[in-house]
Amino acid sequence: MTITEFTTLCFAVGCFTLSACNGGGGSSSAPMPTTPPHAADPEAATPHTAKLIEFGWDMPSMTWLRDHSQALQQTPFDGVVLDLQSDATGAMDEQQLSWQVWRDKTIDLHDYAKAVAAFDAITVPPPMENFLRLNVTPGTVDWFDEAGYAAVLANAGLVAGLAHRPGFVGIFLDVETYQAPLFDYLALPGRFQHSFGDYESQVYRSGQLFLQALTAAYPGITVLLSFGESWPTGELRLSPYGLLPAFLEGMLAAATPAVTIYDGYEQAYPYTTAQQFQAAAQRIHAQTHPQYRASFGVYDRAHPTPADLTNALTLARRFTDRYVWSYNEVYNWWDGTVPPAVMHAVIDAQNSSH
């Protein structure tokens, strides 16, 4: 697609409104499910079909990947999380497309023309399964701001449309609230006008619309979450992520059979035992919709030796339903500086069948 076609798609997706989700009635609310949807029995990955995805501070730019096409051929990973950088200069969160989605202004893809051109020129070797990143930032749109949320939907649809190409399976939806406390009821300005139950219902409908915006641009999209429904603990009304379950339940309610959503379970960062990974997988499956699957994050700082890293990645691959995302801050996997022992640690995990 051209930039103009993407921009047109962006505004087309933006025609979704919260009142339309209510059948045009405006004041009626979609019921929140009182019990989890029927439990899934997903076809779990085997160590030979599990996919290891690279993500982290070392994320390469589109122009770098275009100019170093062999890098994707040589990586020990099965995919990578990528982003588009603005043509303008500024702080990281001002440059990256993923950081500009959750606002009341639609993204102008012309601002990313160089990155889009480079993205179009990249050849992804099969059978890689890559993702584009999408954050819930800056997160300054209130859930009851219908006009503002229309822009969020348009921006989300634009990112999904960009990801709809060979070698990319969908988006990495990072639901961490790096900036505004989007899912924290007690931090929302509207809490004085709306009860927690009102917000739950509104966020549920917003989740439906969000998934519809993604699938309008990419019908068979895969969504890999940084973490999911099990993240908030205690009373949801008091939790900084208390509204996240409602949002995800809304997404699942709108999911077509072609859509899969993976709980990336960032809580697994420090896990070192089979019992921990197995319990986490069971926890995810216990609350699942048929299209809600288990996945795990593995953090390089939590596993400082090559043996530690091999162990964590091997166990995560054993218990995932498909994806393991390796979050890296210590190592840069794209500049040739990864120590051989660490490279072999990842390769050993990929080759493990236990």
Check residue 4 and give its pLDDT: 39
Residue 44's pLDDT is 57
Backbone angles phi, psi at 207, to 5 degrees: -65, -40
pLDDT tens figures, 68-93: 988 998 999 999 999 999 987 655 55
Which segments of the chain does DSSP mark as H helices, in order? 3-13, 18-21, 62-67, 70-74, 92-95, 113-121, 146-163, 196-217, 244-254, 274-286, 306-319, 340-351
- Give residue 1's pLDDT band: very low, low, confident or very high (50, 70, 90): very low
Quote the CA–CA distance of 250 and 136 in Å, as a whole number. Answer: 16
- Per-residue pLDDT, averaged over 341-345, amounts to 97
Domain spans of the chain, in order of start:
3-13+44-351
Instruction: Point out the least confidently predicted range of 2-16, 160-174, 230-244.
Output: 2-16
Nearest CA to 176 among 269, 111, 315? 269
- Give the pLDDT confidence of 293-317 residue by residue, as tens digits: 999 999 999 999 999 999 999 999 9
**pLDDT score of 159 more than 90:** yes
Chain segment 90-141, per-residue pLDDT in tens: 555 568 999 999 999 999 999 999 999 999 999 898 899 999 999 999 999 9
The yes/no answer on whether domain 3-13+44-351 falls in CATH 3.20.20 is: yes
What percent of the chain clears pLDDT 90, i.e. is strictly above it? 78
The average confidence (pLDDT) of the chain is 88
Angle at 221 between CA 179 and CA 103, to 5 degrees: 25
Confidence of residue 289 (pLDDT cuts 50, 70, 90): confident
Instruction: Provide the pLDDT for residue 327.
Output: 98
* Reported pTM: 0.88
Q: Is the pLDDT reported for residue 15 higher than 80?
A: no
Give the pLDDT band (50/70/90) at residue 353: low
Q: What is the pLDDT of residue 284?
A: 95
For residue 19, the model assigns a pLDDT of 42
> What is the average pLDDT across 146-168?
97
Residue bearing the bigger pLDDT, 290 or 153: 153
Q: Which residue has the higher pLDDT, 106 or 41?
A: 106
323-349 burial, b if ≥16 CB within 10 A, otherwise e?
A: bbbbbbeebebbeeebeeebeebbebb
Which residue would you say has higher pLDDT here, 102 or 32?
102
